[in-house]
């Protein structure tokens, strides 16, 4: 503490969520003087509103993100939730309209449908999970319909009419249909918390958002980690970036590599995607070989009565695994080998030699990787070593 009452520190961390906690802990453990400032609850959104319920005078920005509420006529005058309120609600709406078919909208649609609400899920894109491969959204839509969710695709909410709780709220869609609810849940995305933290004084434009370099640096002596950067908004990504930045702050520069960031959606079955998607490959003009397999072709699915699920593998013409996607029970665990394959740039011809245990769900990888391996072999584009020495 200085004479004027201010604190002296080597590292100041704004925000003590998943990212802030890790970076502050590592730096303090290594002997740096750390001041951590948290405006709400220590631990951030992950333990309270998200996952757990569905430096040398550097300044680490770890202020997370907040829900975006769209400027929808009539929404303000009617009771609506964001995920924060939905996950701490004590009432169960009889009818719930969810705007947004991304990860949060899909997870909460299934949860509330299983609690007993009549759920309508509205997504403006042609499929659920618009950033993921189409087939994954298609399987998930079928799963949610099995749960009783009314899934409205390619439909955008254009107006909300109603007289409040009990009287019913009508959400009018631009395809001419409507959905009536007791509560509207807005899950139309989140925006990084870049405002009100003074980044402008450091020459950073809060409006443009934070674009960290390969080490997480956004300016001289300023670092940004977690959801505030808008890159892969997941707890595991926040803690990964926090560990890397802490190492850099301790004098051991650590490059971030987000190429194999696992993107999870905790519905039942779970969605796990990693690396490139066919849409990104088209946009970036990357020739992509792709093959997939429906889980019901595995012995395990037969034994366990798994009706829906799929894995998809994406490889470059040279055979390198560039991406993968799955909707499957415990896909987060099942896809460990796919995440490793993308991260390590494994050749699909080597993956085809991996022996998958019987009767495990990972048998689903067998056919698609063998098919891709065959296509790479035939294309003769590359004969890069596939041995394992």
Which residues form the interface with ligand FAD (CB under 6 A)? 14-20, 37-41, 44-46, 50-51, 54, 62-64, 83, 104, 193, 196-197, 226-228, 233-236, 238, 264, 266
User: What is the rounded CA–CA span in Å between residue 136 and residue 130?
Assistant: 10
User: What residues contact residue 341 under an 8 Å CB cut-off, 6+ apart?
Assistant: 321, 324, 351
User: What is the rounded CA–CA span in Å between residue 228 and residue 210?
Assistant: 7
**CB closer to ligand FAD, 51 vs 306:** 51
Q: Interhelix angle for 134-146 vs 103-115, to 10°?
A: 10
- Reading phi first (left if > 0) and then psi (alpha if -120 to 50, else beta), residue 203 is in left
**CB closer to ligand FAD, 11 vs 228:** 228
Least distance from ligand FAD to the Cβ atom of residue 263, Å: 9
Least distance from ligand FAD to the Cβ atom of residue 3, Å: 25
Least distance from ligand FAD to the Cβ atom of residue 39, Å: 4
**CB closer to ligand FAD, 262 vs 292:** 262
Least distance from ligand FAD to the Cβ atom of residue 232, Å: 8
**CB closer to ligand FAD, 86 vs 352:** 86
**CB closer to ligand FAD, 70 vs 359:** 70
Least distance from ligand FAD to the Cβ atom of residue 320, Å: 26
Q: CB–CB of 376/321 below 8 Å?
A: no
Least distance from ligand FAD to the Cβ atom of residue 380, Å: 41
**CB closer to ligand FAD, 215 vs 266:** 266
Least distance from ligand FAD to the Cβ atom of residue 94, Å: 22
User: What is the rounded CA–CA span in Å between residue 382 and residue 17?
Assistant: 45
Contacts 24+ apart (CB under 8 A), 41-47: 42/16, 43/16, 43/17, 43/18, 44/15, 44/16, 44/17, 44/18, 44/19, 44/20, 45/17, 45/84, 46/17, 46/18, 46/235, 46/238
Q: CB–CB of 14/55 below 8 Å?
A: no
User: What is the rounded CA–CA span in Å between residue 107 and residue 127?
Assistant: 15
User: What is the rounded CA–CA span in Å between residue 109 and residue 98?
Assistant: 7
Question: Mapping DSSP to helix (H, G, I), strand (E, B) and coil, where does residue 108 land?
Answer: helix
**CB closer to ligand FAD, 14 vs 334:** 14
Which pair of structure tokens corresponds to residue 58? 């550097």
**CB closer to ligand FAD, 275 vs 316:** 275
**CB closer to ligand FAD, 37 vs 163:** 37
**CB closer to ligand FAD, 122 vs 281:** 122
β-sheet bridge partners, residue 37? 14
- Rounded to a whole number of angstroms, the CA Rg of the chain reads 23
Among 61, 50, 111, which residue's Cα sits nearest to residue 234?
50
Q: Looking at the chain, list the stretches that DSSP marks H as alpha helix, in order from N- to C-terminal side.
A: 18-29, 45-49, 83-86, 103-115, 134-146, 235-249, 278-283, 299-304, 331-334, 336-344, 348-351, 366-379
Least distance from ligand FAD to the Cβ atom of residue 236, Å: 5
Least distance from ligand FAD to the Cβ atom of residue 200, Å: 14
Least distance from ligand FAD to the Cβ atom of residue 61, Å: 9
């Amino acid at each position: 503490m200085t004479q004027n009452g201010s604190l002296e520190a080597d590292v100041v961390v704004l925000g003590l969520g998943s990212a802030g906690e890790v970076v502050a802990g590592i730096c303090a453990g290594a002997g740096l003087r750390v001041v951590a400032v948290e405006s709400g609850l220590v631990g951030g959104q992950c333990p309270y509103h998200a996952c757990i319920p569905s430096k040398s005078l550097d300044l680490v920005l770890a202020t997370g993100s907040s829900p975006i509420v769209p400027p929808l006529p009539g929404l303000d005058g009617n009771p609506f939730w964001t995920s924060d309120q939905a996950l701490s609600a004590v009432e169960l709406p009889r009818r719930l309209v969810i705007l947004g078919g991304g990860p949060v909208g899909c997870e909460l649609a299934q949860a509330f449908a299983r609690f007993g609400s009549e759920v309508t899920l509205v997504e403006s894109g042609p499929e659920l999970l618009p950033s993921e491969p189409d087939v994954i959204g298609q399987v998930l839509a079928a799963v949610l319909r099995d749960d009783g969710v009314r899934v409205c695709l390619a439909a955008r909410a254009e107006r909300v009419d109603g007289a409040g709780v009990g009287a019913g709220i009508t959400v009018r869609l631009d395809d001419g249909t409507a959905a009536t609810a007791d509560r509207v849940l807005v899950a139309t995305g989140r925006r990084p918390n870049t405002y009100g933290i003074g980044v402008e004084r450091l020459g950073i434009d809060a409006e443009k958002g934070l674009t960290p370099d390969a080490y997480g640096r956004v300016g001289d002596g300023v670092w940004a980690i977690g959801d505030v950067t808008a890159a892969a908004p997941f707890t595991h990504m926040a803690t990964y970036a926090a560990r890397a930045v802490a190492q850099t702050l301790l004098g051991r520069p650590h490059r971030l590599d987000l190429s194999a960031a696992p993107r999870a959606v905790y519905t039942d079955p779970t969605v796990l995607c990693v690396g490139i998607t066919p849409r990104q490959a088209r946009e970036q003009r990357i020739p992509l070989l792709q093959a997939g397999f429906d889980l019901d072709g595995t012995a395990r699915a037969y034994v366990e009565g798994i009706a829906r699920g799929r894995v998809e593998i994406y490889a470059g013409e040279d055979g390198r695994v560039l991406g993968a996607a799955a909707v499957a029970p415990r896909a987060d665990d099942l896809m460990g080998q796919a995440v490793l394959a993308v991260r390590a740039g494994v050749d699909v011809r080597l993956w085809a030699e991996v022996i998958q245990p019987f009767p495990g769900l990972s048998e689903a990888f067998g056919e698609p990787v063998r098919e891709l391996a065959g296509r790479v072999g035939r294309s003769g584009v590359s004969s890069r070593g596939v041995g394992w020495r």
